[in-house]
Amino acid sequence: MAECGRVDSNTSHTMDKSITLPPDEIFRNLENAKRFAIDIGGSLTKLAYYSTVQHKVAKVRSFDHTAKEAAGDKLYEISMQEEVTARLHFIKFENAYIETCLDFIKDHLVNTETKVIKATGGGAHKFKELIERKLGLKVDKEDEMTCLIKGCNFVLRNIPHEAFVYAKHADSEFRFQTTNPDIFPYLLVNIGSGVSIVKVESEDKFERIGGSSIGGGTFWGLGALLTKTKRFDELLQLASKGQHASVDMLVKDIYGGSYGYLGLTGDLIASSFGKSATADKEFSKEDMAKSLLHMISNDIGQLACLYAKLHNLSRVYFGGFFIRGHPVTMHTITYSINFFTKGEVQALFLRHEGYLGAIGAFLKGAEEDNPNQYSWGENYAGSSGLMSVSPDMNPMQRARSGTFPFDMLEMDRLERQLVNLPLLQDPSSYIPDTVDLTEDAPAREYWLYCFEEALDGVVKRAVASQPDMPEAALRAEKFRQKYRHKLQTLRQQPFAYGSLTVRSLLDTREHCLNEFNFPDPYSKIKQRENDIALKYYQKAVKSLDELSWEEKQFALVRGVLAGNVFDWGAKAVSDVLESDPEFGFEEAKRQLEERPWLVDSYDQWLERLKGPPHKCALFFVDNSGVDIILGVMPFVRELLSRGTEVVLASNSGPALNDVTNGELQILTERIAAMDPVIEAGLREDRLLLVQSGSSSPCLDLSRLDKVLAMVVRERQTDLVIIEGMGRAIHTNYYAMLSCESLKMAVIKNSWLADRLGGKLFSVVFKYEVPVGKPNKDCGAFSPC
């Protein structure tokens, strides 16, 4: 990229504009940018653009498809290919920098066919001429409210943990809400200078059902008059220091105590500013600002509740500049809603509330690309996260120090549409993650430390995966910095990307690796392990077949568990694997805990196996090599033999040494060549390989490939098997399914083992039958 723009200030803006834009961080991928949208508010500008990103992806290809016998030493080849994916970029900065930014964009924008920029927000008309002159794009104004709603629908649908409840005095200030697949209907209370209350019933149907003129503008305008304080943020700061009781007339000021008859406590405000009318004295700025804040927040909360009640809505989101990440106003609004609904309705806030208008304006302009037809995911590597930068705070200082305050959000277009697993008992209450590290401080400490500790190893692995690329070391170093910075941010602000979980820490690492073109650091290892394991397949199957039925069932389960020990994601194991590549399957079995296991419902499982076969089993697989080939495949083979159809769900993209769908296709083909049961299963369409839609070592059953969901429904799946620590313990340990489920994992982390009351290599074998469904004729019950 060219050197960053250094722009001299010669305009009327008071702020020092000679600032440096960090080109590696801001306005990324401008070269391929198309479709711009801008939302200019009273103080902040939000710019949106769509761009394509070139990624390296690891592809696997079988050496020889036609002549299976000729397949020599290596099973498949790995190649790095360039793939173009779509990404949405959103940048937020202060209006004072708008010219600097426009210049920067102009200088870096190459060959775009874009002619129009969609614009919204109150300030759009003010900068219309400037934008048209600088960028040569025609400014096309879009209705503010429409953009807001479109943006709101988009984030609610696509960003997990978008909405949160604010609790000032709780252990974790932010309580993130699980993503409900059904986002409608809801109420959006937008508190700008005035208040708009909008009822949203569907993607295209919304109605402004009411509003109020007492809003952020009232706080600001009246506050400026009363306190001679000009800036909104300063007013909020004043308010946070004040005591409203010296200005407000409280119930106890009138009654001397509480108004018991009506249940009104003495501390309730009877009359806002009531004391400033009766007492002839001076009031402090802080106290007046606080009183004003309470007055306005309570009033808005009350009206919101009245509208919610009238329209029978329980989901109420608050947004607008009055709210925008300010703990003070989120707290007072939350309090008000709580008071007026007696706790029946919770005030909800949005992590990306500030971007709604820009997102909506962008979507309006991109309608022909059908962005709503895709699923999108937040790119943790390129997004600032909640409150990591608060441009509202002390902007003068920041400008003086020469850095450019901005906030970013990046959304990647996912290759496929993601939906709920149809077998979730209650999708609206499903929480994938077992431990919320936002709330569990000791667990957070441990895992952040753990991921930091493992960073060197990951960097080493990443470099080793690209031996032919000399700059890999440099990129790996950048990855290290980026991820370490993310970990530091999360230490300070665990809530930055929603609830902090082991899953989100893993996903963030994958995003950062991808960002620096390390799509699959474990590709070579996986390849080698798959090769080795395949050689033992026939032997393993043969020895299993020699066992009695009951012995065999137990051996199969132990096989899966032992296979699951082979996990590079777990440090305890990777140390052993690193030092002893010949670490064998048998050795792993010896490491396993003896029965009774830490969680042990094997007897029930065995009992169940004596009954009729399942109709169809959905198996979420874990690692490459021994795990999938010697552990899972024999187990699958047995299911097929029993007459159960099997759907193997594997990752769409790489994550650690997890087997990807691409790899599994080739592996299964190879095994089919050796094993008539697997071969028949494939041929008769009773064994299916479907991708999960995920590229994570964990599993979110509410975001699965639509095709997988369809297959699950069509095949009348009545058994779900989830394997491995990432999928069955870090996530889904408590997941309730509407059919039988089997969760199998070996605990390969001593801290976690400790937490669960076990020890290293303890076994979790959790077989569950949904309540109310008799064990006996499970084979007969219909899928949900």
Partner 1 sequence: MAFNGHQRDDDDIIDENETPSKQPRSDKEMPVHFRNEPNSESATTAGRATSDRRTSQSATRHRHDSVKKTRPPFPWFGMDIGGTLVKLVYFEPKDITAEEEQEEVENLKSIRRYLTSNTAYGKTGIRDVHLELQDLTLCGRKGNLHFIRFPTHDLPAFLQMGRDKHFSSLHTTLCATGGGAYKFESDFRMMADLELHKLDELDCLIRGVLYLDSVMSSGPSECYYFENPADPDHCVQKPCTLENPYPLLLVNIGSGVSILAVYSENNYKRVTGTSLGGGTFLGLCCLLTGCSTFEEALEMASQGESTRVDKLVRDIYGGDYERFGLPGWAVASSFGNMMSKEKRESVSKEDLARATLVTITNNIGSITRMCALNENIETVLFVGNFLRVNTLSMKLLAYAMDYWSKGQLKALFLRHEGYFGAVGALLELLHPS
What residue ranges bind partner 1 (CB under 8 A)? 42, 122, 143, 145, 192-194, 196, 208, 210, 212-218, 220-222, 224-226, 230, 247-249, 251, 253-257, 259, 261-262, 268-278, 280, 283, 288, 295, 298-299, 302-303, 306-307, 309-310, 340
Closest distance between partner 1 and the C-beta of residue 311, in Å?
A: 10
User: 198 vs 476, which CB is nearer to partner 1?
Assistant: 198
User: 22 vs 221, which CB is nearer to partner 1?
Assistant: 221
Closest distance between partner 1 and the C-beta of residue 361, in Å?
A: 16
- Encoded tokens for 338: 């709580």
**Of 716, 674, 407, 356, which Cα lies nearest the Cα of 539?**
674
User: 224 vs 389, which CB is nearer to partner 1?
Assistant: 224
Give the span between the Cα atoms of 99 and 651, in whole angstroms.
44
Give the span between the Cα atoms of 259 and 420, in whole angstroms.
50
Closest distance between partner 1 and the C-beta of residue 269, in Å?
A: 4
**Of 327, 281, 282, 335, which Cα lies nearest the Cα of 305?**
335
Tally of CB atoms within 10 A around 264: 16
**Of 401, 384, 318, 485, which Cα lies nearest the Cα of 46?**
384
Placement of tokens 């609004």 in the chain:
333
Closest distance between partner 1 and the C-beta of residue 140, in Å?
A: 17
Closest distance between partner 1 and the C-beta of residue 617, in Å?
A: 53
Closest distance between partner 1 and the C-beta of residue 216, in Å?
A: 8
User: 255 vs 536, which CB is nearer to partner 1?
Assistant: 255
Q: How far is CA 294 from CA 4, 112, 228, 298, in A?
A: 45, 49, 19, 6
One-letter amino acid identity for 110? V
User: 218 vs 691, which CB is nearer to partner 1?
Assistant: 218
CA atoms within 13 A on the CB side of 688: 21
User: 217 vs 365, which CB is nearer to partner 1?
Assistant: 217
**Residue 312 Ramachandran class (φ > 0 left, ψ -120 to 50 alpha, else beta):** left
Give the span between the Cα atoms of 545 and 542, in whole angstroms.
5
User: 306 vs 572, which CB is nearer to partner 1?
Assistant: 306
**Of 528, 531, 584, which Cα lies nearest the Cα of 559?**
584
Closest distance between partner 1 and the C-beta of residue 466, in Å?
A: 55
Give the span between the Cα atoms of 91 and 529, in whole angstroms.
43
Closest distance between partner 1 and the C-beta of residue 215, in Å?
A: 6
Calculate the CA dihedral of residues 755, 758, 762, 765 and round it to 10 degrees.
-80
Give the span between the Cα atoms of 449 and 63, in whole angstroms.
42
Closest distance between partner 1 and the C-beta of residue 345, in Å?
A: 14
Closest distance between partner 1 and the C-beta of residue 231, in Å?
A: 10
Segment holding 745, helix H or strand E: strand 740-746
User: 31 vs 203, which CB is nearer to partner 1?
Assistant: 203
- Encoded tokens for 451: 């991921």
User: 144 vs 723, which CB is nearer to partner 1?
Assistant: 144
Give the span between the Cα atoms of 351 and 175, in whole angstroms.
11
Closest distance between partner 1 and the C-beta of residue 423, in Å?
A: 41
User: 259 vs 583, which CB is nearer to partner 1?
Assistant: 259
- Encoded tokens for 361: 């304006």
- Cross-strand partners of 198: 188, 208
User: 22 vs 260, which CB is nearer to partner 1?
Assistant: 260
Closest distance between partner 1 and the C-beta of residue 99, in Å?
A: 22
User: 364 vs 670, which CB is nearer to partner 1?
Assistant: 364
Closest distance between partner 1 and the C-beta of residue 299, in Å?
A: 6
User: 45 vs 298, which CB is nearer to partner 1?
Assistant: 298
Segment holding 563, helix H or strand E: helix 549-564
Tally of CB atoms within 10 A around 759: 12
**Of 93, 88, 76, 103, which Cα lies nearest the Cα of 5?**
103
Tally of CB atoms within 10 A around 474: 12
Beta strands in 526-656 (DSSP E): 599-600, 616-620, 645-650
One-letter amino acid identity for 154? F
